[in-house]
């Protein structure tokens, strides 16, 4: 593998060959005033195309420290594909996570993927960078790290954690307010702490855009965990590790896709089957030609097939049909998958 110094010196020719053999791959190297390495960025064309053409426009970012002779940080940005699997989009390498390094990285990322609807992260240095580069995107916080801050500040409490995740994952604002009232009753100190953070940054109910089920940065964190040993390597073997990982994943997923016989992915099919359970006995009442009320032994919800909405908000916030939608389609004897594709 050579020395770390040799690895850095060969980075330009490596990136040149990476672009040569992967047309439209995006690579950048930034040097400082003394002609020394400062930052780099790379995103292979197949990853860019997969995100732009096939994925929901939500990305998740995180960074991880090097373990070798030269200390630095590798920045990850990932999305989730239609089978709910991690899709890495791009990587950056910098001395440490700062506003400047994140801004440079996000600028290069924006050049690759354009605007997105939502971004999730845990790094404090990223806030200003997002506002400058993705001004129209909704910036969300990682729920896992937010509960970690609560535990660190107020000590661990099982009931508090349960209520916190109910607040994070609630679909309706009425559901959120119910659990918010309970939190204020038992842990007013935690509620005061959370009230200082805009609700739209950490809750699904108040988010103005769609975060789907991605309320944490765990998918980016898993990239960090999987690269722990590789982060001890010099820069070129480290980059090649990620390139080889992508080649392996893309091949495996392509082979699986070619064998698929369903319209939806296996994950989506399983979710539809799960949502279909428990709807036996529900009743459907017509409001008009496209609107229906589903009586589900609770409050009941309104489904609008034309607008593709359900008052439970699950359909529009996940992109998958809830039990109410499935019940309406069953009532109408319609093909379930056709209504949201």
The tens digit of pLDDT for each residue in 84-103 reads 999 999 999 999 889 899 99
**pLDDT exceeds 90 at position 57:** no
Q: Using 50, 70 and 90 to split pLDDT, how confident is the model at 1? A: low
Provide mean pLDDT across the span 222-246: 89
What SS3 class is residue 125? coil
% of the chain at pLDDT higher than 70: 96
The residue that leads in pLDDT, 223 or 117, is 223
Provide mean pLDDT across the span 71-85: 91
Answer whether 121's CB lies under 8 Å from 143's CB: no
| DSSP count for the chain of H helices, then E strands | 14, 11
Provide mean pLDDT across the span 216-240: 88
pLDDT at site 180: 97
Which of 177, 160, 47 minimizes the C-alpha distance to 112?
47
Radius of gyration of the chain (CA): 23
* 6, burial (CB in 10 Å: exposed 0-12, middle 13-18, buried 19+): exposed
**pLDDT exceeds 70 at position 326:** yes
Per DSSP (E only), the strands in the chain are 26-31, 37-43, 58-65, 73-80, 86-94, 118-121, 138-141, 283-286, 291-295, 301-304, 309-310
Per DSSP (E only), the strands in 195-304 are 283-286, 291-295, 301-304
pLDDT at site 335: 60
**pLDDT exceeds 80 at position 55:** yes
The residue that leads in pLDDT, 128 or 174, is 174
pLDDT at site 270: 93
pTM of the entire structure?
0.86
pLDDT at site 35: 86
Q: What are all long-range contacts of 67-75, with beta carbons under 8 Å and residues at least 24 apart?
A: 67/228, 67/231, 67/232, 68/4, 68/231, 68/232, 68/233, 68/234, 69/4, 70/4, 70/235, 71/95, 71/96, 72/96, 73/97, 73/101, 74/227, 74/231, 74/238, 75/101, 75/102, 75/105
How many angstroms separate the CA atoms of 56 and 35, rounded? 39
**pLDDT exceeds 80 at position 266:** yes
pLDDT at site 187: 95
Provide mean pLDDT across the span 117-135: 77
**pLDDT exceeds 80 at position 118:** no
pLDDT at site 5: 82
**pLDDT exceeds 80 at position 265:** yes
Answer whether 174's CB lies under 8 Å from 154's CB: no
**pLDDT exceeds 90 at position 136:** no
What are the Cα distances from residue 131, in Å, to 134, 135, 305?
A: 6, 5, 35
Tokens of 150: 């609560």
From edge to edge, which strands make up the β-sheet containing 283-286?
283-286, 291-295, 301-304, 309-310
- Give me the DSSP letters along 141-201: E-HHHHHHHHHHHH---HHHHHHHHHHHH-SSHHHHHHHHHHHHHH-HHHHHHHHTS-GGG
Provide mean pLDDT across the span 35-61: 92
pLDDT at site 339: 45
pLDDT at site 123: 65
For the chain, what is the mean pLDDT?
A: 90
pLDDT at site 122: 64
Provide mean pLDDT across the span 35-41: 92
How many angstroms separate the CA atoms of 70 and 139, rounded? 32
Q: Which helix (H) or strand (E) holds 236?
A: helix 235-259
Provide mean pLDDT across the span 203-216: 88
């Amino acid at each position: 593998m050579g020395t770390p110094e040799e690895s850095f010196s060969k980075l330009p020719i490596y990136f040149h060959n990476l672009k040569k053999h992967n047309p439209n791959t995006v690579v950048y190297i930034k040097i400082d005033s003394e002609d020394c390495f400062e930052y780099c960025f790379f995103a292979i064309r197949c990853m860019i195309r997969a995100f732009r053409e096939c994925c929901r426009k939500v990305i998740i970012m995180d960074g991880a420290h090097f373990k070798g002779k030269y200390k630095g940080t590798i920045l990850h940005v990932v999305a989730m594909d239609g089978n709910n699997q991690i899709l890495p989009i791009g990587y950056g390498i910098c001395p440490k996570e700062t506003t400047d390094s994140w801004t440079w990285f996000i600028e290069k990322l924006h050049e690759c993927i354009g605007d997105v609807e939502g971004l999730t992260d845990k790094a404090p240095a990223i806030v200003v960078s997002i506002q400058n580069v993705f001004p129209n995107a909704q910036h969300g916080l990682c729920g896992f790290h937010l509960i970690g801050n609560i535990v660190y500040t107020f000590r661990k409490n099982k009931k508090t954690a349960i209520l916190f995740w109910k607040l994070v994952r609630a679909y309706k604002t009425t559901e959120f307010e119910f659990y918010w009232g309970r939190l204020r009753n038992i842990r007013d100190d935690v509620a005061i702490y959370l009230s200082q953070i805009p609700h739209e940054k950490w809750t699904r109910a108040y988010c103005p855009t769609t975060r789907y089920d991605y309320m944490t940065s765990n998918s980016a964190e898993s990239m960090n965990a999987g690269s722990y040993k590789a982060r001890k390597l010099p820069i070129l073997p480290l980059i090649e590790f990620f390139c080889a990982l992508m080649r392996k994943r893309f091949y495996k997923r392509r082979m699986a896709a070619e064998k698929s016989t369903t319209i939806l992915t296996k994950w989506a099919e399983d979710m539809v089957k799960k949502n279909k359970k428990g709807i036996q006995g529900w009743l459907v009442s017509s409001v008009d030609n496209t609107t229906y009320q589903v009586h589900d032994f609770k409050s009941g919800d309104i489904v609008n097939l034309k607008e593709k909405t359900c008052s439970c908000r699950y359909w529009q916030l996940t992109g998958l049909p809830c039990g109410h939608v499935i019940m309406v389609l069953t009532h109408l004897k319609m093909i379930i998958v056709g209504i949201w594709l």
